[in-house]
């Protein structure tokens, strides 16, 4: 079977490609090698035996070429950033997905499975519960609260702090341009798949971690930020108070989930959370990174800044995917150790931390909370 992996030069796509080849699949990669994710062009880890096509998922002719002889598609190519260029998120993410289905239907292609990458961001804020069990799925925290360092959601009846709950696949409240575009991809995947009898699966990834994450992409997350900080012997910056709860999942567990839904027909026409199965606070995760890099004594900076639009707590309920026989087996420490090995193997890394932090502030994404306690 020949499999197309869009975004196959990227983090999740390249690791999935490796496993496909290991299992005997033939692979075509379509990737635009867009900066800043691929700052230095085509990565050296792309296997010589794959058919590599440099092109954009919105390019009809390139997509026709990439789909030639293909029986399954992993659609991982996506636009990620904090920039307010709202239209590009939909132009790349939504239109690219629609074009894949359009060509499969129009040209009657023999595609037996389409797996589309979504994001935990689609859920927005997670679920919260009051002491009496009342459930809430709130909107964005108001700027007025964040400016005063009020990080937690409060029960509107009692003013007590709400307790976070695991978030199921049924929860969807996208709160930014990226999440909205990803939600549109989920909806298209399931609707077009069912309507045109194309077995399809949407994968709602949590925060995926491990080697090959771009050093130059602001969206790569905490593993990149904290690891680069300790690598350059700098105290990492933590937003809010560091008590935010997150769900980290190792790249190798994600790859096993991707292959599971490709090869198991029970996954057809379903959407799955893909998470690590354990909650970490941001401070806890930072301490893991410090330990792995041998920098336990270098305390993080917590100056009371916040990123506008960030969720407070979000943890994915992965019981649905577990029911297919998949389980996350790696820890956050495993992910950081691999990322450190990957980072230390590089020979041409510049100190980009100042650039990245300044860029976020210039975009007015990072803001000071006037009433926060440092």
Confidence bin at 134 (pLDDT 50/70/90)? very high
Contact 163, 129 (CB under 8 A): yes
What does the pLDDT look like over 249-258, one tens digit per residue?
A: 999 999 999 9
- What pLDDT was estimated at residue 83? 76
Rounded mean pLDDT of 140-169?
96
What does the pLDDT look like over 181-237, one tens digit per residue?
A: 999 999 999 999 999 999 999 999 999 999 998 877 666 678 988 998 999 899 999
What does the pLDDT look like over 84-104, one tens digit per residue?
A: 899 999 999 999 999 999 999
Mean pLDDT taken over the chain: 92
Give the span between the Cα atoms of 186 and 294, in whole angstroms: 41
Percentage of residues of the chain with pLDDT beyond 90: 83
Least confident of 39-53, 150-164, 274-288: 39-53
CA distances from 218 to 68, 162, 280, 336, 362 (A): 34, 30, 21, 17, 13
- The residues, ordered by sequence, that sit 6+ positions from 152 with a Cβ below 8 Å of its Cβ are 161, 162, 312
Least confident of 60-69, 147-156, 228-237, 310-319: 228-237
CA-CA-CA-CA torsion for 209, 215, 219, 224, nearest 10 degrees? 50
CA-CA-CA-CA torsion for 116, 137, 244, 121, nearest 10 degrees? 20
Least confident of 113-117, 308-312, 330-334: 308-312
- What pLDDT was estimated at residue 342? 93
What does the pLDDT look like over 3-35, one tens digit per residue?
A: 999 999 999 999 999 999 999 999 999 999 988
| Predicted confidence (pLDDT) at residue 370 exceeds the cutoff of 80 | no
Quote the Cα angle for 332-357-11, to 5°: 40
Contact 367, 305 (CB under 8 A): yes
Residue 361: other Cβ atoms inside 10 A: 12
Give the span between the Cα atoms of 266 and 268, in whole angstroms: 6
Question: Which CATH number fits the domain 2-368, given the four candidates 3.30.420.10, 2.40.40.20, 3.40.50.300, 3.40.50.720?
Answer: 3.40.50.720
- What pLDDT was estimated at residue 263? 98
- What pLDDT was estimated at residue 80? 87
Q: Of residues 219 and 126, which shows the higher confidence score? A: 126
- What pLDDT was estimated at residue 368? 77
């Amino acid at each position: 079977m020949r499999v197309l992996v869009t975004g196959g030069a990227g983090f999740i796509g390249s690791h999935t490609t490796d496993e496909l080849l290991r299992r005997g699949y033939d692979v075509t990669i379509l990737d635009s090698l867009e900066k800043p994710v691929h700052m230095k062009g085509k990565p050296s880890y792309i296997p010589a035996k794959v058919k590599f096509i440099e092109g954009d998922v919105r390019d009809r002719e390139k997509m026709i070429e990439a789909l030639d002889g293909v029986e399954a598609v992993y659609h991982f190519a996506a636009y990620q950033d904090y920039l307010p260029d709202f239209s590009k998120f939909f132009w790349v993410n939504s239109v690219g997905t629609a074009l894949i289905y359009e060509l499969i239907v129009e040209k009657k292609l023999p595609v037996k499975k389409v797996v589309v990458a979504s994001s935990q961001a689609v859920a927005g804020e997670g679920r919260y519960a009051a002491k009496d069990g009342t459930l809430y799925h709130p909107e964005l925290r108001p700027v007025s609260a964040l400016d005063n360092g009020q990080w937690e959601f409060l029960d509107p009846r009692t003013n007590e702090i709400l307790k976070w709950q695991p978030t199921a696949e049924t929860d969807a409240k996208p709160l930014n341009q990226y999440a909205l575009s990803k939600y549109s991809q989920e909806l298209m995947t399931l609707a077009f798949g069912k309507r045109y009898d194309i077995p399809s699966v949407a994968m709602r990834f949590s925060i995926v971690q491990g080697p090959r994450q771009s050093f130059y992409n602001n969206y790569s997350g905490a593993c990149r930020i904290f690891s680069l900080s300790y690598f350059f012997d700098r105290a990492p910056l933590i937003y809010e108070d560091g008590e935010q709860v997150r769900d980290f999942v190792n790249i190798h567990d994600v790859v096993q989930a991707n292959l599971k839904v490709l090869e198991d027909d029970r996954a057809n026409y379903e959407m799955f959370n893909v998470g690590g199965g354990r909650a970490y606070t941001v401070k806890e995760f930072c301490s893991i990174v410090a330990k792995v890099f041998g920098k336990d004594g270098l305390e993080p900076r917590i100056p009371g800044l916040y990123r506008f639009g960030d969720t407070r707590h979000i943890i994915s309920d992965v019981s649905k995917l577990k029911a297919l026989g998949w389980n996350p087996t790696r820890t956050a420490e495993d992910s950081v150790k691999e990322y450190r090995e990957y980072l230390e193997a590089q020979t041409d890394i510049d100190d980009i931390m100042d650039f990245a932090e300044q860029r976020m502030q210039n975009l007015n994404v990072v803001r000071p909370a006037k009433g926060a306690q440092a």
